[in-house]
Structure 1
Amino acid sequence: MSVTATEDREFSERQREVLDAALALIVENGSALTMSALARRASCSKETLYKWFGDRDGLLTATVQWQAAKVRGVPLDRERLDREALGSALERFAADWLRVISSSTSVALNRLAVGHAGGDTPDLGSIVLHNGPFAMNRRVRPLLMAGEAAGLLRFEDADAAFHTFFGLVVRDVQIRLLLGEPMSLSADEIAIDARRASQQFLALFGAPEAEMAGQPTPRRI
């Protein structure tokens, strides 16, 4: 299994339980995650783990994918997509994202990934990069493209638009947590920050109200 695979995988209930156990071990012990330790914690055989995940890199990839899956994709009704619906969808995605990255689990994963980054072999740094930020780009892109096609958003480069959205949502929260600041975001704070990020994004990339009222022909990519 490629450690940089970024497909959205479906896990069974039992697999999710095992991956939650893996995340708990990473929070508790950092790089001490092994197939043997996980088999003991999750009360399953190593043979089952190898069958499901292939090897330790495959297990780490699945673990990161499961954590990233908690940032849900946003269902779209393209026939009824307007500025309000677009803003609400961006806000929901941003809130999920903030909730996940500020969790103790994600902080532990990212700290471990930074320590592994830049090695000569595929490692957790590469896994987190490809199944974290890169996967978020892929997950929110349909929403950005639907907004652009509906004439609600204007941008020349979808990747650049995503990177701006990333900056507005994540800001310096992640780096402060990684450096040990005792920050705990409440549900209300996450909601406020998510709303602010979506409003700022629409202020930067939203089509002018007059242009939307005139229903211009959307730019096709």
Structure 2
Amino acid sequence: MLQASADIDTSETLTERQKAVLDAALRLLVEEGDNLTMTAVARRASCSKETLYKWFGDRDGLLTATVQWQASKVRVVPVDGESLDIASLTASLEGFAADWLKVISSDTSIALNRVAVGHAGSFKRKPGKDDLGAIVLENGRFALARRLKPVLLAGKQAGLLDFTDAETAFRSFFGLVARDVQIRLLLGDRLELTEAAIGGDAVRATQQFLALFGAKTGRRATDL
């Protein structure tokens, strides 16, 4: 059975066949919303239900792996705490920001988040049904925080960042990157998020974050 941890880069633990199955599950979520079944995924992915149960355990495990696979597309460039400088820290933060904007603006993520929000807000969830909202939250936003915080803490240890709480610093960076983009997309706004626009937004968010949390004794990105 595939046991993919939220703190592990799922793309490193999946086979190409498993990735194809999870892509099929994502497409079904876009098309059918919460009415996702193991039978439907097996049919769409041209595999047996036995294979799905072997890899993912059950529907809950399949949904978790699907969200992890989508979240793994937001890469966190590792940094060396001992030799970390402002240039490498900036590059890591900009890369994370750009990847995250690309992922949340995709049709797949928009549909997945709409289903998750609707599922979380349902007061009449059927007994025994998994909580897709909780799965998306734990394996999306919370998992990304666990992956990026070591970079922020390395920046603090290197004297480049100054903050008292890593969670607060992460939330500030997340907010600078997202702004109102995600909520507008979820509500149907057709934003033009081109590669150039995403790259510019990633740079802007990183510079604003460094202006807020850059150590006064360290070199800022704008000093390079």
Question: TM-score by structure 1 length?
Answer: 0.89
Match of 1:176 in 2: 184
Match of 1:196 in 2: 204
> Is 1:93 matched with 2:96?
yes
What is the CA-CA distance between 1:78 and the residue it aligns to?
2.9
What is the CA-CA distance between 1:79 and the residue it aligns to?
3.6
Mapped contact 1:35–1:49 kept (Cα < 8 A): yes
Match of 2:86 in 1: 83
Mapped contact 2:7–2:146 kept (Cα < 8 A): no
Match of 1:41 among 36, 39, 44: 44
Q: Amino acid of the residue matched to residue 6 of structure 2?
A: T
Q: Amino acid of the residue matched to residue 38 of structure 1?
A: V
Match of 1:74 among 74, 77, 90: 77
> Is 1:212 matched with 2:218?
yes
Match of 1:64 in 2: 67
> Is 1:115 matched with 2:115?
no
> Is 1:152 matched with 2:155?
no
Deviations 1:47-80 (A, max 9, x none): 1001111111111100000000000121213343
What is the CA-CA distance between 1:132 and the residue it aligns to?
0.9
Percent identity of paired positions between Structure 1 and Structure 2: 66
Q: Distance in 2 between matches of 1:30 and 1:49?
A: 19
Moved more, 113-122 or 44-53: 113-122
> Is 1:105 matched with 2:108?
yes
What is the CA-CA distance between 1:118 and the residue it aligns to?
4.7
Match of 1:164 in 2: 172
Deviations 1:160-186 (A, max 9, x none): 000001100111111001111112310
Q: Distance in 2 between matches of 1:199 and 1:97?
A: 16
Q: Distance in 2 between matches of 1:36 and 1:139?
A: 33
Match of 1:216 in 2: none
What is the CA-CA distance between 1:26 and the residue it aligns to?
1.2
Q: Distance in 2 between matches of 1:202 and 1:122?
A: 39
Q: Distance in 2 between matches of 1:212 and 1:16?
A: 42
**Structure 1: any 5+ residue segments left out of the alignment?**
214-221
Moved more, 172-181 or 71-80: 71-80
Deviations 1:139-198 (A, max 9, x none): 111110110000000000000000001100111111001111112310000000000000
Mapped contact 1:102–1:184 kept (Cα < 8 A): no
Q: Distance in 2 between matches of 1:149 and 1:77?
A: 11
Mapped contact 1:165–1:201 kept (Cα < 8 A): yes
Q: Distance in 1 between matches of 2:52 and 2:29?
A: 16
Match of 2:18 among 9, 15, 18: 15
Q: Distance in 2 between matches of 1:138 and 1:161?
A: 12
What is the CA-CA distance between 1:111 and the residue it aligns to?
0.1
Q: Distance in 1 between matches of 2:107 and 2:121?
A: 24
Q: Amino acid of the residue matched to residue 154 of structure 1?
A: D
Match of 2:135 among 118, 124, 127: 127
Query: What SS does the aligned partner of 1:78 have?
Result: coil
Query: What SS does the aligned partner of 1:90 have?
Result: helix
Q: Amino acid of the residue matched to residue 78 of structure 1?
A: G
